């Protein structure tokens, strides 16, 4: 029987990755193999009705932050970042703390511990998160009873929480994750659109971009956040809006996410998606991701760069 060609993605790097670092690579939308980056090889699969054989290919892709991207290299039309957990690991010691401080100041008798908040993060959006929690556990005694008043009540809690969170960001108490500024600078220098697409409040996202990435970068980065779309992640609406606004094809966009709901949104929009795991998402299911890393990374611990993002747009086949 003739073997069926399966599309593969290859990865290697001239950067000195740590031997323990591993990346998950996407194969034919279903199959993943865990490949140590220290091996710098590609596993190509051939299948037939009766046999499955594995061959090794030494086809290599340069992936160095210090190497310039040649004019012939494939580049994404847009690089789209989630915010919380991707730009900054904000959830446990940022948003959660701000929610709890709000609950305390409003005398609601509610506190979200680390484990509970991790479960609540499966719900996209802070207002939606609070509503789901109160619906399940019971609304506070001092909360209104009508549906419309409860919406307004939750909105007021979220506004107060956002102000507290922004104060943390303005004090720069939460740092950027490794490699974020590097990757954004590479994209901007090559004329690639950069945007941040988040379910978080627009003011909070803008504060992160302005205070942590700096005003020079911030003025070149578009933000799509909060209630800019009626349906939040895992719905793909925010990524489709970003592509439409930027005037690019979704298939030419590469998304950097950290969660399963963000991954679902990116893939639902028809985009490539790289996962950089965060504190709360390390054990989530990323089987549909195009690649999975622990973080982006700066040299000498770089995990990937703009050239690698572009390589995801190039389909390679093994006959």
Structural domains of the chain, with CATH: 78-89+175-310 (3.40.50.1000), 91-170 (1.10.150.240)
- Which position among 84, 89, 294, 305 bears the catalytic label? 84
| 92 burial via Cβ count (<10 Å: 0-12, 13-18, 19+) | middle
Question: Distances from the Cα of 247 to the Cαs of 35, 72, 105, 206, 244, in angstroms?
Answer: 36, 22, 44, 22, 5
Between helices 260-268 and 237-246, what is the axis angle to 10°? 50
pTM for the model stands at 0.74
Does the pLDDT of residue 103 top 90, yes or no? yes
Residue 23 is predicted with a pLDDT of: 56
- Give catalytic status of residue 84 as yes or no: yes
- Give catalytic status of residue 305 as yes or no: no
Does the pLDDT of residue 306 top 90, yes or no? yes
- Span 9-14, average pLDDT: 36
Those residues whose C-beta lies under 8 Å from the C-beta of residue 244, and which sit 6 or more positions away, are none
**In the block, residue with structure tokens 């299911």:** 285
Band of residue 219 on the pLDDT scale cut at 50, 70, 90: very high
Structure tokens at 48: 């037939």
pLDDT digits (tens, 9 = 90+) for 64-94: 333 444 444 789 999 999 999 999 999 888 9
């Amino acid at each position: 029987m003739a073997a069926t060609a399966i599309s593969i993605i290859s990865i290697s790097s001239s950067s000195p990755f740590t031997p323990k670092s591993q990346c998950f690579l996407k194969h034919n939308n279903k199959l993943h193999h865990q490949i140590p980056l220290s091996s710098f090889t590609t596993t190509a699969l051939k299948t037939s009705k009766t046999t499955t054989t594995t061959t090794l290919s030494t086809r290599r892709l340069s992936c160095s932050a210090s190497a310039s991207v040649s004019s012939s290299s494939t580049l994404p039309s847009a690089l789209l970042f989630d915010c919380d957990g991707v730009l900054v690991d904000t959830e446990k010691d940022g948003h959660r703390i701000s929610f709890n401080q709000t609950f305390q100041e409003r005398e609601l008798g509610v506190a979200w511990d680390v484990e509970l908040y991790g479960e609540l993060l499966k719900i996209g959006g802070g207002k939606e998160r609070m509503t789901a929690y109160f619906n399940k556990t019971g609304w506070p005694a001092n909360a209104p009873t009508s549906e419309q008043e409860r919406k307004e009540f939750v909105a007021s809690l979220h506004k107060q929480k956002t102000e507290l969170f922004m104060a943390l960001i303005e004090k720069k108490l939460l740092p950027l994750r490794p490699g974020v500024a590097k990757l954004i600078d590479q994209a901007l220098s090559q004329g690639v659109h950069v945007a941040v697409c988040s379910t978080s409040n627009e003011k909070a996202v803008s504060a992160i971009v302005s205070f942590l990435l700096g005003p020079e970068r911030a003025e070149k980065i578009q933000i799509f956040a909060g209630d800019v779309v009626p349906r939040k992640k895992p719905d793909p609406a925010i990524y489709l809006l970003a592509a439409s606004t930027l005037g690019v094809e979704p298939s030419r966009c590469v998304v950097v996410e950290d969660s399963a709901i963000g991954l679902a949104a990116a893939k639902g929009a028809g985009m490539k998606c790289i996962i950089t795991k965060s504190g709360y998402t390390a054990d989530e299911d990323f089987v549909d991701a195009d690649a999975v890393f622990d973080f982006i990374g700066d040299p000498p611990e770089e995990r990937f760069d703009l050239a690698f993002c572009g390589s995801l747009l190039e389909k390679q086949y093994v006959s």
